[in-house]
């Protein structure tokens, strides 16, 4: 019963956000601000995640295939395809559920418990349009961009790790990556990051917007937003894979 109520409230908030997305003048300024916060500010962590994911994948693949009589280019194919189809989107999503989701839930939660959202409404603002729409839009628009960054640095990291460890020469790595490259995999990863961006920001907005109970309530909202975001990312990943692959 409680879960149904939560889903109902979440859906209502999304409906309100969709309806007020036409009020561009209300959230224009906030949208640019959020694009920077969600996108630009997340680039360093995404680069770091990308490089390490690609590096570790290369080293582990090389280790596992050490005694198998298969060409070294296979490692390049495994690493690049895994990154494009799964890891760049999912690992970035999980990291951003913590970084972006927690920030959004904390910001809105603090605004709720300190009556700042009431103040906005009392002035005649549409608080959903002002606060929720730009954050969700920023998630939808910037997560695919971050997916591209994660993919480039993931494959680059894998290539560098193969070269510096002496396990896979760059030429073999790139040969494998090119040989098994399917554009659909990029489209699929792109689509996933789009969905993850929506999930993380909308759940965080929902948890923050309806936070109650002072500092403890904000803490609870932040934790729930992060945990729910991670769970829903994994669930959405499965559903998309089942439907589209």
Partner 1 sequence: MIEIRNLTKSFGNLLVWEDVTFNIEDGDTIAVIGRSGCGKSVLLKHINALLYPDNGEILIDGENIHELDYVSQRRLRQKFGILFQGSALFDSINTYENVAFPLRYFTDLNEEQIREKVMLSLQYVNLEDSAEKETSELSGGMRKRVGLARAIILEPKYIMYDEPTSGLDPKTAEEINELIIAMAERLNVTSIVITHDMHSVLQVADKVAFLDQQKLSWFGTLEEMKSSNQPDLIDFITASEYQIKSKQYT
Of residues 199 and 221, the one with the C-beta less far from partner 1: 221
Question: C-beta of 42: minimal distance to partner 1 in Å?
Answer: 19
Of residues 114 and 165, the one with the C-beta less far from partner 1: 114
Of residues 33 and 175, the one with the C-beta less far from partner 1: 33
Map the chain to HEC letters.
CHHHHHHHHHHHHHHHHHHHCCCHHHHHHHHHHHHHHHCHHHHHHHHHHHHHHHHHHHHHHHHHCCCCCCCCHHHHHHHHHHHHHHHHHHHHHHHHHHHHHHHHHHHHHHHHHCCHHHHHHHCCCCHHHHHHHHHHHHHHHHHHHHHHHHHHHHHHHHHHHHHHHCCCCHHHHHHHHHHCCCHHHHHHHHHHHHHHHHHHHHHHHHHHHCCCCHHHHHHHHHHHHHHHHHHHHHHHHHHHHHHHC
Of residues 124 and 166, the one with the C-beta less far from partner 1: 124
Q: CB under 8 Å, gap of 24 or more: what pairs does 235-242 form?
A: 236/192, 236/195, 236/196, 236/199, 237/86, 237/89, 237/90, 237/192, 240/188, 240/191, 240/192, 240/195
Of residues 27 and 198, the one with the C-beta less far from partner 1: 27
Residues in contact with partner 1 by the rule CB under 8 A: 26, 110-111, 114-116, 118-119, 121-126
Question: C-beta of 43: minimal distance to partner 1 in Å?
Answer: 22
Question: C-beta of 123: minimal distance to partner 1 in Å?
Answer: 5
Of residues 27 and 188, the one with the C-beta less far from partner 1: 27
Question: C-beta of 233: minimal distance to partner 1 in Å?
Answer: 28
| Spatial distance between the Cα atoms of 218 and 169, rounded to a whole number of angstroms | 50
Question: C-beta of 114: minimal distance to partner 1 in Å?
Answer: 6
Of residues 61 and 126, the one with the C-beta less far from partner 1: 126
Question: C-beta of 25: minimal distance to partner 1 in Å?
Answer: 8
């Amino acid at each position: 019963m409680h879960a149904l109520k939560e889903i109902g409230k979440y859906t209502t908030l999304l409906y309100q956000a969709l309806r007020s997305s036409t009020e561009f003048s209300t959230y224009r300024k906030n949208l640019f601000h959020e694009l920077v916060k969600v996108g630009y500010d997340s680039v360093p962590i995404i680069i770091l995640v990308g490089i390490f994911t690609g590096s570790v994948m290369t080293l582990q693949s090389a280790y596992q295939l050490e005694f198998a009589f298969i060409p070294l280019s296979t490692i390049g194919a495994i690493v690049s395809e895994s990154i494009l189809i799964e890891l760049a989107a999912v690992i970035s999503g999980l990291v951003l559920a913590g970084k972006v989701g927690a920030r959004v839930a904390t910001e809105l939660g603090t605004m709720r418990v300190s009556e700042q959202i009431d103040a906005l409404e009392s002035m005649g603002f549409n608080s959903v349009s002002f606060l929720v729409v730009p954050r969700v839009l920023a998630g939808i628009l910037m997560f695919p961009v971050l997916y591209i960054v994660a993919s480039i640095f993931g494959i680059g990291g894998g290539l560098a790790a193969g070269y510096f460890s002496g396990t896979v020469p760059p030429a073999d790595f790139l040969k494998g990556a090119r040989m098994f490259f399917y554009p659909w995999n990029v489209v699929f990863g792109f689509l996933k990051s789009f969905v993850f961006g929506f999930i993380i920001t909308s759940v965080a907005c929902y948890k923050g917007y309806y936070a109650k109970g002072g500092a403890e309530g904000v803490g609870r909202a932040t934790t729930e937003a992060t945990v729910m975001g991670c769970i829903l990312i994994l669930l959405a990943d499965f559903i998309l894979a089942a439907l589209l692959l």
